[in-house]
Amino acid sequence: MDLNYSAEELAFRDEVRVFLEAKLPQDLSEAVRQGKGMCKDKHDRWHSILNERGWLAPTWPQEHGGCGWNAVERHIFEEECCRAHAPRIVPFGLTMLAPVLQQFGSDAQRAYFLPRILSGEHWWCQGYSEPGAGSDLASLRTRAVRDGDHYIVNGQKTWTTLGQYANWIFCLVRTNPEAKQQEGISFLLIDMNTPGIEVRPIELLDGTHEVNEVWFTDVRVPVENLVGEENKGWTYAKFLLTHERTNIAGVGFSQAGLEAVKRLARQQLHRGRPLLENPHFAARVARAEIDLMAMSTTNLRIISAAAKGQAPGVESSMLKVKGTEIRQEINDLARRAAGTYALPFASESVAGDNSELAPPDGSEAVAAQYFNNRKLSIFGGSNEIQKNIIAKVSLGGRS
Ligand SMILES: Cc1cc2nc3c(=O)[nH]c(=O)nc-3n(C[C@H](O)[C@H](O)[C@H](O)COP(=O)(O)OP(=O)(O)OC[C@H]3O[C@@H](n4cnc5c(N)ncnc54)[C@H](O)[C@@H]3O)c2cc1C
């Protein structure tokens, strides 16, 4: 097996590099490099730049405006974007909802929503979790009751990422409380500007406002916003989760993170020598790098199968567990490499400060990232739940 890129793939990589050099605004890449939070304006700018180039939706079929890239090209693109510190593309519309609409939505829904996801006119958020319905998602209680041409929605969602920016939310709602849990759920698309919706912020461990509670009081949703069939939402919800988990592998982020750890550990001294030469530290870095290479190959294998039309199954759970473990290990290595400089996670401690306590370049955000990325093993279905899924498939013979 030849693991080197072909001449065409190298040419594609160069094309991506040239594009990123020309089009990725420096203030955006600098903000990403320093681990600073992204405001809506920054996300929107990068979204528009990619859309203009036609490179916003690598996973979509070309007929809907996708790039038509194969698995290797997508991998190269992700790798290069992370290497250049491009902002992450917000996944809710592009990589979570869009595949569901493409597979299960009506023609009218595809025609209306897909172009607006690409243009950025619609910013989507994910209304799955509720208090008491996270791992046990099927026990969700937000109710939707049919009233003529509308559903009336009442209830509460929680942990809604970037819901403060969203103008649309895709929601799992209970339409039949009498049926078995999974059989009474529907998948609704809800305009966040509908009267009766309230978004309340939740502050995270690193002090950021990234997640929210979303409350629904007598919210009227047109029936044409139901995806697929009533009470079949669980099928669509699970399909969406496999896409969410595959993207969670975060190979490019880990590659960029590992490079940052090495840069930091070259600058930091341990007993007069660069920390990177310390055998214990170097062994941990090597182990993370080997794990990452193995996962990167597995990731390629899985996206290649997905490109041939196979929805990722248990493999996406494997990627979720391994990908997040690697990212958290890299965060921990960065925190250790920064040493005492990791103590303050205040944004004002920036490189370039000429006081004696000026931190080494790359150490400013390690604590914030370490704390923020505790979330990785919780969201998208916690890692314990993914391990249950893997065990059931490999030990129990069912998915
Ligand atoms: C930062 C962040 C962003 C999020 N964004 C979104 C979003 O945008 N939209 C959305 O809908 N949700 C979102 N979530 C919610 C996320 O999906 C849930 O937090 C997750 O599914 C876990 O549910 P829970 O928090 O209710 O924990 P629980 O389900 O109460 O679990 C608590 C602990 O028990 C363990 N556990 C539970 N059941 C089992 C079991 N059967 N076997 C073994 N261990 C078990 C879990 O692994 C966990 O460690 C987000 C969460 C976070 C932290």
Strand partners, 157: 214
Residue 351 has pLDDT above 90, yes or no: no
From the CA of 237, how far away is ligand 1's center (Å)? 15
The pLDDT value given to residue 380: 85
**pLDDT tier, 306 (very low <50, low <70, confident <90, very high otherwise):** low
Neighbours of 353 (CB within 10 A): 12
**pLDDT tier, 49 (very low <50, low <70, confident <90, very high otherwise):** very high
From the CA of 50, how far away is ligand 1's center (Å)? 32
The pLDDT value given to residue 398: 52
Is the distance from the beta carbon of residue 81 to the nearest atom of ligand 1 less than 6 Å? Answer: no
Q: Which residues are CB-neighbours of 21 under 8 A, at least 6 positions away?
A: 84
Q: With residue 256 as reference, give the H or E element that holds it.
A: helix 251-267
User: Is the torsion defined by CA of 115, 116, 120, 124 positive or negative?
Assistant: negative
Interval 65-89 mean pLDDT: 90
Determine the residue type at 119.
Answer: S
Pick the residue whose CA is nearest to atom 41 on ligand 1.
385
71 token code pair: 């698995």
Neighbours of 94 (CB within 10 A): 23
Interval 220-242 mean pLDDT: 95
The pLDDT value given to residue 356: 54
Is the distance from the beta carbon of residue 388 to the nearest atom of ligand 1 less than 6 Å? Answer: yes
The pLDDT value given to residue 310: 67
Site to probe by mutation for ligand 1, drawn from 379, 387, 388 as the one with most ligand atoms within 8 Å of Cβ, is 379
Q: Is the pLDDT higher at 310 or at 216? A: 216
Grouping H, G, I as helix, E, B as strand and the rest as coil, residue 119 is: helix
Is the distance from the beta carbon of residue 161 to the nearest atom of ligand 1 less than 6 Å? Answer: yes
The DSSP string of 167-190 is SEEEEEEES-TTS-GGGGEEEEEE
The pLDDT value given to residue 241: 82
Interval 246-275 mean pLDDT: 89
**pLDDT tier, 307 (very low <50, low <70, confident <90, very high otherwise):** low
Residue 355 has pLDDT above 70, yes or no: no
From the CA of 261, how far away is ligand 1's center (Å)? 29
Grouping H, G, I as helix, E, B as strand and the rest as coil, residue 222 is: strand
- What does the pLDDT look like over 10-37, one tens digit per residue? 999 999 999 999 999 999 999 998 877 7
Distance between CA atoms of 214 and 210, rounded to whole angstroms? 13
Grouping H, G, I as helix, E, B as strand and the rest as coil, residue 4 is: coil
- What does the pLDDT look like over 197-207, one tens digit per residue? 999 999 988 88
Radius of gyration of the chain from its Cα atoms, rounded to whole angstroms: 22
Neighbours of 142 (CB within 10 A): 23
CB 25 within 8 A of CB 45: yes
Interval 305-327 mean pLDDT: 81
Report the candidate in 274, 176, 162, 173 with the shortest Cα–Cα distance to residue 225: 173
Active-site amino acid positions: 244
Residue 332 has pLDDT above 90, yes or no: yes
Is the distance from the beta carbon of residue 154 to the nearest atom of ligand 1 less than 6 Å? Answer: no
Is the distance from the beta carbon of residue 160 to the nearest atom of ligand 1 less than 6 Å? Answer: yes
Site to probe by mutation for ligand 1, drawn from 123, 135, 206, 373 as the one with most ligand atoms within 8 Å of Cβ, is 135
From the CA of 381, how far away is ligand 1's center (Å)? 6
Q: With residue 309 as reference, give the H or E element that holds it.
A: none
Q: Which residues are CB-neighbours of 396 under 8 A, at least 6 positions away?
A: none
